């Protein structure tokens, strides 16, 4: 249709201006997409958490231990299926730049409770048998080039000294959101070594947290209350919550940063709205005579509005598409550089939808004032602008 031809041709009439506007939109959508991906990555642990797992920790703080003896009492609570436990080790590889999550766990129960960590049966067996053995995620071993059988030394920042481990297995995530950068080793290795080094170490026979597998998601609250009730008024009172709430608690610690990122992502959209609105205002002012001619020929407000809105949509959506295309390699660069902090830095479909919605808002918002001016101008005044 001729009107569509006018619309598309108009969009690229001033190539420099359209090119610069497209560049601006592309960069804005790229920035918006990356910022939204950072937020998603931050919440990826929450998203990946299970509805049937509860976490029991010391009610004062996660940094205080709980006695190992709690395990058997927790097991007896109605609705509890299985119990595992672990301790945040806080070790680094070679130096502090090489940081990744590492935990001392009870291997058998831990692997049973986390079916999303997929491990070859022979590797699982080797890991269970070797007290100094560890398993690590696929991304972690790729980062450091470890091979099964390698001896890896971690430097303890909480449990001081050098700790040697033998790589017995490499797990991969069942879901895309499963963190493949973690390191798990035997809690007994940690406990026995602590006993050897210092018999009265405060973490001897203590664990950082319990993982409680409940029979059904709907009994979670009841089980949590039951566990916490067991240890009320004890020396180490517990706080039990769903794995999701536990993860959200971690995310909430950086809530201010996330809020700032969200605000910045919205500011980016407002800036680009202003840029596109400026472009549309300029193009409409230049073409006001042509719009007057179209009105003279009998084309109504709908056509004029359609031309301006359409032009705004064409430019913005093209910029949006380019921005989305650019987001994937940019995210890859981001993932390579900051993979240790954001193991799940994946551009999610939700982010792409948000890109599209933001672009639509920009396109429509930018065209409102120019369209209003173009349709309201008297034909005689519009024709006077020609010549």
Partner 1 sequence: MTEEEKTPIVEIKDVSKSYRRGSYTVPVLRDITFDIEGGEFLALMGPSGSGKTTLLNLIAGIDRVDNGTIRVGGIDITTLSEMELAQWRATHVGFIFQFYNLIPVLTAVENVELPLHLTGLSKRERREHALMALGLVNLDHRVGHYPSQLSGGEQQRVAIARAIITDPTILVADEPTGDLDRVSAEEVLGLMERLNDEMGKTIIMVTHDPRAANRAHQLKHLEKGFLNNAHPQNPV
Structure tokens given for 2:
């001729």
Q: Which helix (H) or strand (E) holds 5?
A: helix 2-11
Residue 4 in contact with partner 1, rule: CB under 8 A: no
Q: Which stretch binds partner 1 (CB under 8 A): 1-9, 104-112, 133-141, 170-178?
A: 1-9
Residue 283 in contact with partner 1, rule: CB under 8 A: no
C-alpha–C-alpha distance, residues 340 and 107, integer Å: 23
Q: Which stretch binds partner 1 (CB under 8 A): 5-13, 189-197, 241-249, 347-355?
A: 5-13
Question: Are 37 and 347 a contacting pair, CB within 8 Å?
Answer: yes
Among 290, 311, 348, 355, binds partner 1 (CB under 8 A): 290
Q: Which is nearer to partner 1, 131 or 378 (CB)?
A: 378
Q: Which stretch binds partner 1 (CB under 8 A): 130-138, 254-262, 291-299, 310-318?
A: 291-299
Q: Which is nearer to partner 1, 25 or 307 (CB)?
A: 307
Among 20, 120, 157, 386, binds partner 1 (CB under 8 A): 386
Q: Which is nearer to partner 1, 94 or 386 (CB)?
A: 386
Closest to 354 measured CA to CA, from 34, 24, 21, 23 = 34
Residue located via tokens 């990946």: 48
**Cα angle at 351 between 349 and 353, to 5 degrees?**
70
Q: Which is nearer to partner 1, 272 or 314 (CB)?
A: 314
C-alpha–C-alpha distance, residues 263 and 269, integer Å: 10
Among 295, 313, 314, 344, binds partner 1 (CB under 8 A): 295
User: Which DSSP state fits 38?
Assistant: H
Chain CA centroid to CA 1, Å: 44
Q: Please report how close the Cβ of residue 14 comes to partner 1 at its closest, in angstroms.
A: 12
Q: Which is nearer to partner 1, 18 or 102 (CB)?
A: 18
C-alpha–C-alpha distance, residues 373 and 60, integer Å: 63
Among 2, 199, 253, 256, binds partner 1 (CB under 8 A): 2
Among 19, 161, 300, 329, binds partner 1 (CB under 8 A): 300
C-alpha–C-alpha distance, residues 209 and 63, integer Å: 10
- Bridge pairing between strands 133-137 and 161-173: parallel
Residue 179 in contact with partner 1, rule: CB under 8 A: no
Residues 7-26 that bind partner 1 (CB under 8 A): 9-10, 13
**Cα angle at 337 between 333 and 341, to 5 degrees?**
120
Question: Are 159 and 196 a contacting pair, CB within 8 Å?
Answer: no
C-alpha–C-alpha distance, residues 138 and 154, integer Å: 18
Closest to 55 measured CA to CA, from 203, 184, 227, 180 = 227
Residue 281 in contact with partner 1, rule: CB under 8 A: no
Among 188, 296, 332, 336, binds partner 1 (CB under 8 A): 296
Q: Which stretch binds partner 1 (CB under 8 A): 84-92, 191-199, 286-294, 329-337?
A: 286-294
Residue 380 in contact with partner 1, rule: CB under 8 A: yes
Q: Which stretch binds partner 1 (CB under 8 A): 44-52, 67-75, 152-160, 292-300?
A: 292-300
Residues 6+ apart with CB under 8 A from 196: none
Q: Which stretch binds partner 1 (CB under 8 A): 2-10, 157-165, 210-218, 223-231?
A: 2-10
Q: Please report how close the Cβ of residue 301 comes to partner 1 at its closest, in angstroms.
A: 8
Q: Which is nearer to partner 1, 97 or 302 (CB)?
A: 302
C-alpha–C-alpha distance, residues 22 and 129, integer Å: 60
Which residues form the interface with partner 1 (CB under 8 A)?
Answer: 1-3, 5-6, 9-10, 13, 289-290, 293-300, 378-380, 383, 386-387
């Amino acid at each position: 249709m001729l009107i569509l031809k006018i619309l598309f041709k108009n969009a690229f009439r001033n190539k420099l201006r359209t090119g610069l506007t497209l560049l601006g939109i592309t960069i804005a959508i790229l920035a918006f997409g990356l910022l939204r991906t950072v937020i998603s990555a931050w919440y990826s642990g929450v998203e990946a958490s299970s509805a049937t797992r509860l976490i029991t920790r010391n009610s004062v703080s996660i940094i205080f231990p709980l006695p190992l003896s709690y395990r058997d009492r927790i097991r007896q609570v109605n609705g509890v299926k299985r119990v595992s436990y672990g301790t945040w080790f806080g070790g680094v590889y070679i130096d502090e730049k090489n940081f990744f999550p590492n935990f001392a766990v009870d291997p058998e129960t831990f692997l049973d409770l986390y079916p999303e960590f997929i491990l070859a049966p022979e590797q699982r067996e080797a890991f269970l048998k070797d007290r100094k053995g560890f398993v690590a995620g696929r991304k972690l071993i790729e980062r450091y080039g470890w091979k099964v059988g390698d001896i890896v030394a971690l430097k303890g920042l909480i449990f001081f000294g050098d700790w040697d481990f033998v790589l017995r297995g490499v797990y991969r995530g069942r879901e895309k959101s499963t963190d493949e950068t973690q390191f798990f080793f035997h809690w007994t290795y940690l406990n026995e070594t602590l006993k050897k080094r210092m018999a009265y170490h405060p973490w001897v026979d203590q664990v950082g947290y319990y993982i409680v597998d409940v029979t059904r998601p709907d009994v979670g609250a009841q089980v949590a209350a039951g566990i916490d009730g067991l240890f009320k008024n004890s020396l180490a009172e517990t706080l039990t919550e769903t794995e999701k709430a536990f993860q959200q608690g971690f995310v909430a610690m950086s809530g201010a940063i996330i809020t700032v990122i969200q605000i910045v992502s919205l500011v980016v959209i407002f800036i680009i709205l202003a840029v596109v609105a400026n472009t549309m205002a300029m193009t409409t002012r230049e073409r006001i005579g042509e719009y007057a001619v179209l009105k003279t020929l009998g084309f109504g407000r709908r056509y004029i509005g359609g031309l301006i809105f359409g032009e705004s949509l064409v430019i913005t959506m093209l910029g949006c598409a380019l921005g989305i295309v650019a987001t994937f390699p940019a995210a890859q660069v981001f993932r390579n550089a900051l993979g240790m902090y954001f193991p799940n830095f994946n551009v999610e479909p939700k982010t792409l939808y948000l890109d599209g919605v933001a672009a639509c808002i920009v396109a429509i918002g930018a065209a409102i004032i120019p369209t209003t001016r173009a349709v309201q101008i008297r034909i005689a005044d519009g024709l006077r602008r020609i010549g």
